[in-house]
Amino acid sequence: MRTHRFRHQAARTFFINPKCDMAIAVNHPLLLHALQQAALDRSVRAIHQQAGPEIDCPQVSLAGVVLDRVDGSFLLGVHELRPERSVEEAARLDFVLKRHGLRLLERDATDIRQEPLFSNARLAWSFARYHVPITDRLRIALALEDGGPQSVLELEERARPTCDTLAAVCALACQDLVGINISRDPLGPRTIVFAR
């Protein structure tokens, strides 16, 4: 009779969003929060994961998550504490990244957990699976098309959805169908919604 040994393996998490060309493997909660925030950011057009290359001098890996923003492509570095580099080290790193068409965007725990950004992104993503009926999607889209950017309260008055308007807006923002500003004020009736 055979005995089986089971290894304890952490469940692998993947981040999926319309801005991603494929699912992105996430190995740390801070990275997940950073990706959720990036997906809701108007300036981020696409998110993808790249395999490399590995550079020896200076020793740097170009593997990781790349954010394609309106102002360029950024290799995302997520850290508990931002690493300290000398001016020379920073210049060498910047040179290597530029040769590959990238810039470095480093975010640490303090940046990622900054309020109201952190709570707003978490709230929005808590509604990612919220079901928005097709009729409400159309009403919201038409109201935004006709009236331009407007608050959740104004959108509720114009579109008259049958579902919870804030939950619907958050779900649609996670699907990249509408935009919301998560960095200024807490999400609520006064949050401005805009068409994508």
Of residues 109 and 53, the one with the higher pLDDT is 109
What's the confidence (pLDDT) of residue 4? 45
Indicate the helix (H) or strand (E) that contains 165.
helix 165-174
Which of 18-32, 41-55, 95-109, 178-192 is least confident? 41-55
What's the confidence (pLDDT) of residue 93? 87
CB 151, CB 185: distance < 8 Å:
no
CB 13, CB 31: distance < 8 Å:
no
CB 18, CB 171: distance < 8 Å:
no
Which of 5-9, 76-80, 87-91, 98-102 is least confident? 5-9
What's the confidence (pLDDT) of residue 55? 67
Q: How confident is the model at residue 5 (pLDDT cuts 50, 70, 90)?
A: very low
Give the count of beta carbons closer than 10 Å to the beta carbon of residue 12. Answer: 8
CB 161, CB 142: distance < 8 Å:
no
What percentage of the chain has pLDDT greater than the value 70?
90
Which residues share a beta bridge with 151?
192
CA distances for 30 relative to 81, 99, 118, 161, 188, angstroms: 11, 28, 11, 34, 25
**Residue 24 CA to chain centroid, in angstroms?**
11
CA distances for 38 relative to 11, 75, 107, 142, 176, angstroms: 23, 12, 11, 26, 11
Whether 2 has a pLDDT exceeding 50, the answer reads no
What's the confidence (pLDDT) of residue 96? 87
Q: How confident is the model at residue 89 (pLDDT cuts 50, 70, 90)?
A: confident
Whether 8 has a pLDDT exceeding 60, the answer reads no
- Which tokens belong to 187? 């999400």
User: What are the pLDDT digits (tens) for 113-168?
Assistant: 999 999 999 999 999 999 999 999 999 999 999 999 999 999 999 999 999 999 99
Residue written as token pair 């609520």: 188
Over residues 27-33, mean pLDDT: 95
Over residues 57-73, mean pLDDT: 85
Amino acid at 182: I
Highest mean pLDDT of the ranges 3-7, 21-25, 170-174: 170-174
On average, the pLDDT of the chain sits at 90
